[in-house]
Amino acid sequence: MAADFSSFQSLGFSKDGGIYAFEEFGINDGSGLAYSTIFFIDTVKDSFLPGTPIRTGVERDTESIATARREAMEKATPLLSEHGILDRPGELAAFSPITEIGAPKDELRYLEHPADPAFGKPYTLKIEEFTVASPQRCRDFINTLKAFRLTFSEKNGEPADEIVHADGTDIPESRRCTVGYRIGGVVTYSPLAGAPIHMALVNVLSLGFEGHNGRWIAVPAHP
């Protein structure tokens, strides 16, 4: 129970798919205090909207996760309303939490739309880890950090080798002292006018107070 794996809640997309928002929340493993963070991602630039992420945290362990989440949602409401995010939740096309036994951590194969009988052809996203030099903030703990490369190995039923994202040597400080990655899900959205967007949900594993911590990042993929 010591390690901190945040929970994930997809919020939705702007009308044209140019913005995606999600929330992660949990109890910090070091302080034992509740937190909530709401991310707004520009799916074209693969960057945060100005003034985001929106981070909240309680100051006493008697305050609940509900308090942190409510404060985060209140602060995020203007942006959520401006872009109509909650009107367009998209589809959770695949989800593989770390608790699922037997699921590969480096690959997800999925269909774009939920339906029975199913239609369309599958997509496969694969994640590959590699090491980079550890920055000063982490050198007392580990000699190298893990970085990742994300690719489509299948698109619409056809073999592919298309890079979706590739880290450089400078890993964002927000990932902390990173020891691994796993692909945890995919959210899809198809605007009425424009190309569909797939958001790859990646678990970032980092050194924690006791055991590894898990946080979420969302990477835009354009099929």
Mean pLDDT for 155-173 is 96
Nearest by Cα to 184 from 22, 13, 48, 2: 22
Give the pLDDT confidence score for residue 209 in this predicted structure: 78
Cα 124 to Cα 164: distance, rounded to the nearest angstrom: 12
The region of weakest confidence among 7-11, 68-72, 120-124, 209-213 is 209-213
pLDDT in tens, 110-148: 999 999 999 999 999 999 999 999 999 999 999 999 999
> How far from chain centre, in Å, is Cα 84?
20
pLDDT at 30 over 60: yes
pLDDT computed for residue 56 by the predictor: 95
| Predicted pLDDT at 9 | 97
Residues 6 or more apart from 4 whose CB is under 8 A from it?
A: 26, 27, 28, 29, 208, 209, 213, 214
Mean pLDDT of 5-18: 96
The more confident residue out of 80 and 28 is 80
CA 88, CA 31: separation in Å to the nearest integer? 35
Q: Check pLDDT > 60 for residue 1.
A: no
**Which pLDDT score, from 0 to 100, does residue 49 have?**
97
pLDDT recorded at residue 58: 84
Residue 3: band (very low, low, confident or very high) from pLDDT cuts 50, 70, 90: low
* pLDDT at 216 exceeding the cut of 70: yes
Listed range (31-40, 57-66, 80-89, 122-131) with the worst mean pLDDT: 57-66
Split at pLDDT 50, 70, 90, the class of 22 is: very high
Q: Report H helices in the chain.
A: 65-82
Task: Calculate what percentage of the chain has a pLDDT beyond 90.
Answer: 88
Whether 199 has a pLDDT exceeding 90, the answer reads yes
Is 198:112 a contact under the CB 8 Å cutoff?
Answer: yes
Over range 198-215, report the average pLDDT: 92
- What's the confidence (pLDDT) of residue 73? 97
Range 67-79 average pLDDT: 97
182-196 pLDDT tens trace? 999 999 999 998 899
